[in-house]
Amino acid sequence: MPNLIERQRHIIDFTLSSLLRRKGKNCALLLVYTLIVFILASVLFFTHALKREAALLLNEAPEIIVQRTLAGRYQTIPIAWSDRILKINGVISVRPRLWGYHFDSAFKANYTLTVPAGNPPQQGSIDIGSGISMMRGANRGDIIAFTGHDGIPRSFKIRNILEHESQLLANDLILLSEEDYRDFTGIPADQATDLALRVRNSREYGIIAEKITRIYPDTRPIVRTEILRTYDALFGWRSGLLIVIFSAAILAFVIFAWEKATGLSAEERREIGILKAVGWETSDILLMKFWEGTVISLTAFLVGIILAYLHVFFTSSALFAPVLKGWSTLYPAFPLTPFLDLGQVATLFFLTVVPYTITTIVPSWRAATIDPDAVMR
């Protein structure tokens, strides 16, 4: 057993020195390889992190949301409508929700206003997300002012800075009391933004939605599974777009790697011939080639993954955030919650390292089985 390890060690030693002998070519290969892994891993990490943020967001989403439309456009909904909706079998509770967006022209940012279901701030005080706190330089206990719907600024005392598992959710959030919300937005007292329904049995979603539209034909019930599908399609589509853009780069790499891996240069064939003449066996040469492929692809893989991780979670995907996020450029910058999925890393590994290693072995095996003197002549 120690013998076996010793043998591998010597072969790796030889492989490394032989790689160093062709420094320029191997460095170029390593660089391109790393770049490809970096791009692929960045796309994977980024879309996955976004999907995860969305899933966290939807965890707390109600099963059915009822919106009212007027001439096909979104409209506030009368709170009184919740009584009849609550009578529908399977609806456990109906909660009128008050929320909306606010554009802060001074800071060029969009905020999300919400009246929370539990523990709302007192009139005159608000909770704000960490993103707003950072941008406005406001901390707990400070007074902060926002311009209301009528152009008159209103000042609030900051009760809390919100920290949340999902950055996307809490970053731009302002929690305020119902009185403040109505005063700030101008929504009348008998209206709500939408109605949030709790339904225990997911089999009833369709039937309940149907009954609601029958009672109130100008409403639009939105089922949670639909939201999930939309998010998935959106992020899937965006990551697909990015992959298409970079597929040219991937193709170039594939050609490069193929050329490098399959067609052995005359020099390499000579090297194999000499090694065989010196007394190496075919299996030794294959082992050497295997280690050569492993060293290059594993290094590229690890470096690429680490760079992608830093890129996505520490620089907020500076390179392609405009393509992937894109739903609102006004959105305050938000760092994604670092998250590493082993399944993803494994997928990437089997898509890059394994095929590369295999493609390097096959041609060497062909070269190694030829008579050494035919190769060297």
Partner 1 sequence: MNNKSLKIVLIFIAAFIVGTSPAFADNLKPQKAGPRDKCPVCGMFVAKYPDFAAQIQFQDGSIFHFDGAKDMFKYYLNLPRYAPGKKPADISALFVTNYYDLTLLDGLTAYYVSGSDVYGPMGRELIPFVREAEARDFLKDHKGKSIIRFSDVTPALLRALD
Of the candidate residues 12, 207, 321, 330, the single one contacting partner 1 (CB under 8 A): 207
- The answer to whether the beta carbons of residues 197 and 91 sit under 8 Å apart is yes
Residue (183 or 204) nearer to partner 1, CB: 204
Of the candidate residues 73, 203, 214, 377, the single one contacting partner 1 (CB under 8 A): 203
Window 250-309: residues binding partner 1 (CB under 8 A) = none
214 in contact with partner 1 (CB under 8 A)? no
204 in contact with partner 1 (CB under 8 A)? yes
Of the candidate residues 201, 230, 299, 329, the single one contacting partner 1 (CB under 8 A): 201
Query: Cβ of residue 276: shortest distance to partner 1, in angstroms?
Result: 60
Residue (89 or 119) nearer to partner 1, CB: 89
Distance CA 299, CA 317 (A): 22
Strand partners, 261: none
Query: Cβ of residue 2: shortest distance to partner 1, in angstroms?
Result: 46
* Residue 330, both tokens: 């006004």
Question: Which stretch, 48-56, 57-65, 200-208, 271-279, contacts partner 1 (CB under 8 A)?
Answer: 200-208
Q: What secondary structure letter does DSSP report for 204?
A: G
Q: Kind of pairing, strands 109-114 and 99-104?
A: antiparallel
Q: What is the CA radius of gyration of the chain?
A: 30
Helix (H, G, I), strand (E, B) or coil at 163: coil
Write the DSSP string, 238-255.
HHHHHHHHHHHHHHHHHH
Residue (78 or 90) nearer to partner 1, CB: 90
Residue (173 or 208) nearer to partner 1, CB: 208
The CA angle 272-276-281, to the nearest 5 degrees, is 110
116 in contact with partner 1 (CB under 8 A)? no
How many binding residues for partner 1 (CB under 8 A)?
A: 8
- The answer to whether the beta carbons of residues 39 and 251 sit under 8 Å apart is no
Query: Cβ of residue 173: shortest distance to partner 1, in angstroms?
Result: 31
The binding track of 154-193 with respect to partner 1, each residue x by CB under 8 A or -, is ----------------------------------------
The residue type at 285 = I
Of the candidate residues 84, 200, 229, 366, the single one contacting partner 1 (CB under 8 A): 200
Q: Is 239 left (phi over 0), alpha (psi -120 to 50) or beta?
A: alpha
CA dihedral angle for residue 81, residue 82, residue 85, residue 90, rounded to 10 degrees? 170
Query: Cβ of residue 142: shortest distance to partner 1, in angstroms?
Result: 45
6 contacts: CB under 8 Å, gap ≥ 6: none
Q: Give the CB-side neighbour count of residue 110, counting CA atoms within 13 A.
A: 11
225 in contact with partner 1 (CB under 8 A)? no
Residue (69 or 202) nearer to partner 1, CB: 202
> What DSSP element (H or E) covers 220?
strand 219-223
Question: Which stretch, 112-120, 147-155, 198-206, 235-243, contacts partner 1 (CB under 8 A)?
Answer: 198-206
For 324, phi then psi, to 5°, come to -80, -45
Question: Which stretch, 94-102, 188-196, 197-205, 242-250, contacts partner 1 (CB under 8 A)?
Answer: 197-205
Window 2-61: residues binding partner 1 (CB under 8 A) = none
Question: Which stretch, 84-92, 148-156, 228-236, 297-305, contacts partner 1 (CB under 8 A)?
Answer: 84-92
Residue (22 or 200) nearer to partner 1, CB: 200
Q: Which residue has the tokens 């007027």?
A: 70
Q: Kind of pairing, strands 153-162 and 125-129?
A: parallel
User: Exposed (0-12), middle (13-18) or buried (19+): which is 330, by Cβ within 10 Å?
Assistant: middle
89 in contact with partner 1 (CB under 8 A)? yes
Residues that bind partner 1 (CB under 8 A): 89-90, 92, 200-201, 203-204, 207
